Structure 1
Amino acid sequence: MDQSNYRQTKTKRGFIYSYYFSPPASGKPVLFFSHGFPSNSTLWKQQVPFFQQRGYGVIVPDHLGYGGTDKPTDAKLYSGRGLSGDIVDIFDAEKIDKVIAIGHDWGSYVVSRVLHYFPQRVSASAFLAVGYLPIDGALNVIRDYETVLKLFGADIFAYQRFFIHPDAPAIIEKNIDSFVSLLYPETPEQWKTTLSVDGATRTWVETNTIKPLPSYMTPEDAENLKASLLSGGVSAPLCFYKANNEDANIEEDAKLPASARVISMPILYIAFTKDFVASPAFADGAHQKYVKGPLTRKEIPADHWGMMSHPTEINNLLLEWLETL
């Protein structure tokens, strides 16, 4: 991704956001790519040039807490209403009326919140690995682990109980190589025992366990990721988890009508069948209940990082879907 295409803007909340922007060719839509944890905008480096070359506009922010964007450590600032408003401020800065939104991991959460609060700014949405996340306070995946266990047969979000602990940032920063090898496993099944067992994530990082990285994570990619995380610390990115656990969204979400949960625009969901945390079943349940417009479901045999491991397949599936809109 060409560094000369990065820009900055200050949002109404007073945060400086860094984002990649390339304008569309005449008649082409703008794609908003939304990354998750612990990535930054460069997660999409194999998608951006593919779509730029075909005339699509692209907006790819470093979300709050990441990359060149501000990094506050107050979890309340990471509410869905606040984050989605920041993104719309970026659209306004570039005079973009509507986008097609594409999210992954916590990036799917941000896209979902834009759909809730600013549906008029999105014409269609694609979700990778993590599907549409409706406003629904009935299940807190950190606290309600017994419900998760019954639904999925495993405590698949156990790792989050470490991520929200006060000492987690210092432990992660001290053992950053271990942390990266935890989240980017050479063998996808590793997540069954390292992320989905209570206490296992803390033990892995505290003991500085390091395993080989997958072939799609190049040494350069790994070094860039570590440098990005350490330059601003991991306290800010972890606020996404803390905000969710602390119910930072309840007050604003209560103001929205129940109809805000229902999605009528075209939706694409690409399931990653070797992702042993972001279970396709989790997304499929939400889509069946809340997606009332055209829903396209595809799947690829990838772990959580399909954009990196299967870029050709991802790009072609997205393009095929975009050409139907």
Structure 2
Amino acid sequence: MDSDERPGYKKVKTGRGFTYSYYFSAANAGMPVLFFAHGFPSSSFSWRHQIKAFQGYGLIVPDMLGYGGTDKPVDPTAYIGSALAQDMVDILKAEKIGQVVGIAHDWGTRVLSRLIDYHPERVSACAFIGAGYGPPNSKGTDPISKSKNLADMMGYDIVAYMRFFIEKDVWELIEKNLDSFLDLLYPATPKVWKENMCVDGGARVWIKHNTRTSLPSWTTQEDRDHQKRELTAGRMSAPLCWYKVLVEDEHYEDDAKVSSERRVVQQPLLFIACTQDCITRPEFGDETHGQNINVTGNLTRREVDADHWAVESHPDAINAILREWIEGLQGAT
């Protein structure tokens, strides 16, 4: 285990040889350890408001594979679910932590889902923000394969951007016009996604033309500069592997290893739905949870009137919901 140059961060090499960087803070006596998993195209920096708000709890906040101070392999098969889950277990072992309360957003929900599936003893409870628990995929059930069905259901091409993100040359285009890419991914208004991310070829046109817009009200230029530094520490080909792995046979073969019994979440689960998110729609999480949760009082559902980035745009609301739920868990033990 090595130290990271950032205050509070450590580094550890996992069993498969990848070095992870993560923020760590030890728990005060009697307090649980919270594990935070971020998504695309973020880093542990996206949890900065939660890190500040939950001091006193144990905190483990990794830069996920492909991001920040963590290694950045460009082989999509490095991002299969069981391997990512085992990486998280290796971090817990390095800190001698047996169990965590898992909290995830965006692609981090896939990591937490597989951690629950493969290592349920490591997760005492789980919170999913925006996207819900993600059951293992069989061939043809991933969002990219189901894009036409999803478009027919929703009335718009909800995952058009995913098809763009798995194209061969996309990482070069994004790196060339990184500011435009970040303006699109972190829009000033939610309608930018529906008008561009959810239109076939729309994301490519936006970035190719180097389209720019203002920062959202909740982002400072300092925050954006920090995010750019972390993304440019590697190549965009690594973060995009989180999408590309979905069309790899190894992904389906790996998910098939999860038994039917393990596909039912037994832990208490909090789902925070973001009502203005036009892509990770609340109804998707609701449908999945209705099928994949042991609902003997285990499911708590809350809403935030925010788009996809509620963790950063509405931290007070998110933190209040999380704190109430976590304190309820402690009261139940």
Instruction: Identify whether the pair has TM-score above 0.5, normalized to the shorter chain.
Output: yes
Q: Is the 8 A contact 2:273 2:282 kept in 1?
A: yes
Structure 2 distance, partners of 1:81, 1:151, is 31
Structure 1 range deviating more: 89-98 or 287-296: 287-296
Identity of aligned residues (%): 50
Q: Is the 8 A contact 2:136 2:258 kept in 1?
A: no
Counterpart residue identity of residue 19, structure 1: Y
Partner in structure 1 of residue 185 of structure 2: 183
Partner in structure 2 of residue 76 of structure 1: 77
The 5 A counterparts of 1:1-325 are 3-52=6-55, 55-137=56-138, 138-293=140-295, 294-325=298-329
Q: Is the 8 A contact 2:126 2:270 kept in 1?
A: yes
Q: Is the 8 A contact 1:81 1:249 kept in 2?
A: no
Measured after TM superposition, the shift of residue 3 of structure 1 is 2.7
Matched residue SS, 1:25: coil
Structure 2 distance, partners of 1:168, 1:214, is 24
Structure 1 distance, partners of 2:71, 2:204, is 27
Counterpart residue identity of residue 320, structure 1: E
1:126-146 alpha-carbon deviations (Å, 9 max, x no partner): 000111101132512112211
Structure 2 distance, partners of 1:143, 1:120, is 32
Measured after TM superposition, the shift of residue 230 of structure 1 is 1.3
State TM-score, norm by structure 2. Answer: 0.95
**Gapped regions of structure 1 (runs ≥ 5):** none
Measured after TM superposition, the shift of residue 190 of structure 1 is 1.3
Question: Structure 1 residues 247, 130: closer, same or farther in 2, change over 3 A?
Answer: farther
Q: Is the 8 A contact 1:84 1:110 kept in 2?
A: yes
Counterpart residue identity of residue 144, structure 1: K
1:211-235 alpha-carbon deviations (Å, 9 max, x no partner): 1110111101111111111120111
Structure 2 distance, partners of 1:283, 1:246, is 24
Structure 2 distance, partners of 1:163, 1:211, is 21
Matched residue SS, 1:126: strand
1:170-209 alpha-carbon deviations (Å, 9 max, x no partner): 0000000100100111111111111111100000001100
**Gapped regions of structure 2 (runs ≥ 5):** none
Counterpart residue identity of residue 72, structure 1: P
Structure 1 range deviating more: 170-179 or 291-300: 291-300
Measured after TM superposition, the shift of residue 245 of structure 1 is 2.1
Matched residue SS, 1:4: coil
Structure 2 distance, partners of 1:263, 1:316, is 24
Structure 2 distance, partners of 1:59, 1:165, is 33
Structure 1 distance, partners of 2:114, 2:320, is 26
Structure 2 distance, partners of 1:255, 1:265, is 20
Structure 2 distance, partners of 1:218, 1:248, is 40
Measured after TM superposition, the shift of residue 260 of structure 1 is 1.2
Matched residue SS, 1:235: coil
Counterpart residue identity of residue 22, structure 1: S
Matched residue SS, 1:60: strand
CA RMSD of aligned residues (A): 1.1
Counterpart residue identity of residue 318, structure 1: L
Counterpart residue identity of residue 304, structure 1: H
Structure 2 distance, partners of 1:269, 1:22, is 25
State TM-score, norm by structure 1. Answer: 0.97
Q: Is the 8 A contact 1:75 1:248 kept in 2?
A: no
Measured after TM superposition, the shift of residue 151 of structure 1 is 2.6
